[in-house]
Amino acid sequence: MAETDAREARTEAVRALEAEFGELITQFRRVIVENAHRVSPGMLPGAYKVFTTIVRRESVTISALAESLMSDKGQISRTVRELEALGLVVRTPDPTDGRSSLLSPTPEGLERLAAARHPRESALADSLENWRLADIERLTHLLHALTSGTTP
C-alpha cells in the first residue's frame, strides 16, 4: 500500500510540475513574440529563435544550426537570408570548409537583441529579487539536470 501511495504522490507531483511548465511555456512564448517584435517589427518567433541561436553559438554553419534546432536546412537558409537582409547576421567563408559559410551576429544585431531583451531581463531580476541566491542557483542546477537528462 505504501508503495502505491508513493507512486500516486509521485504521479501527482509530476503532473503539477507539468502544469507549471505549461504556464512557464505560455509566458515564455509571449516573451519571445515581444522580443522578436522589438528586434524587428513583424519578426516571427522562429526567426528570433534562429537569430538567438546564432548569437549564442557566435559562429555556426547553416547545417549545424539546422541540426541544433532540429529543423529543415532549407527553412533555416530562408530564415538566415531574412536575418541578413535585416542586418542582424553576416556570412563569412568557413576557413575549414570552402563550400560552407559561417554565420555570426553583426554588431547592430547584438545591440538590437540587447535592447529587445532588456525589459524582460529586468522583469526576471525583479521577480527573483527576494529569492535567496542559493535558491536561484539550485533552480538553475535542477533545470539543467532536467534538460540534459541527468540526475541532480
Tell me the CATH number at 65.
Answer: 1.10.10.10
Does 45 map to a domain?
yes
| Whole-number Å distance between alpha carbons of 63 and 69 | 10
Residue 80 lies in a domain: yes
Report angle CA 138, 29, 150 to the nearest 5 degrees: 35
pLDDT for 98 beyond 80: no
Q: What single-letter amino acid sits at 9?
A: A
How high is the pLDDT of residue 85?
A: 95
Residue span of the structural domain in which 27 resides: 2-116
Question: What's the chain's average pLDDT?
Answer: 91
Per the model's pLDDT, the better-predicted residue between 152 and 123 turns out to be 152
Q: What is the per-residue pLDDT across 64-85, written as a single tens digit (0 to 9) for each? A: 999 999 999 999 999 999 999 9
- Residue % of the chain over a pLDDT of 70: 99
| Predicted pLDDT at 8 | 92
pLDDT of residue 124: 80
Categorize the per-residue pLDDT at 5 as very low, low, confident or very high, splitting at 50, 70 and 90.
confident
Query: Which of the two residues, 60 and 121, has the higher pLDDT score?
Result: 60
Q: Structurally, how many domains does the chain consist of?
A: 1
Kindly state the helix (H) or strand (E) to which residue 134 belongs, with its residue range. helix 133-148
Record the cell numbers describing residue 53, joined without a space.
541561436
Q: What percent of the chain has pLDDT over 90?
A: 70
- Please indicate, yes or no, if residue 39 is contained in any of the structural domains: yes
Rounded to two decimals, the pTM is 0.75
> Would you say residue 8 lies in a domain?
yes
Distance CA 136, CA 151 (A): 18
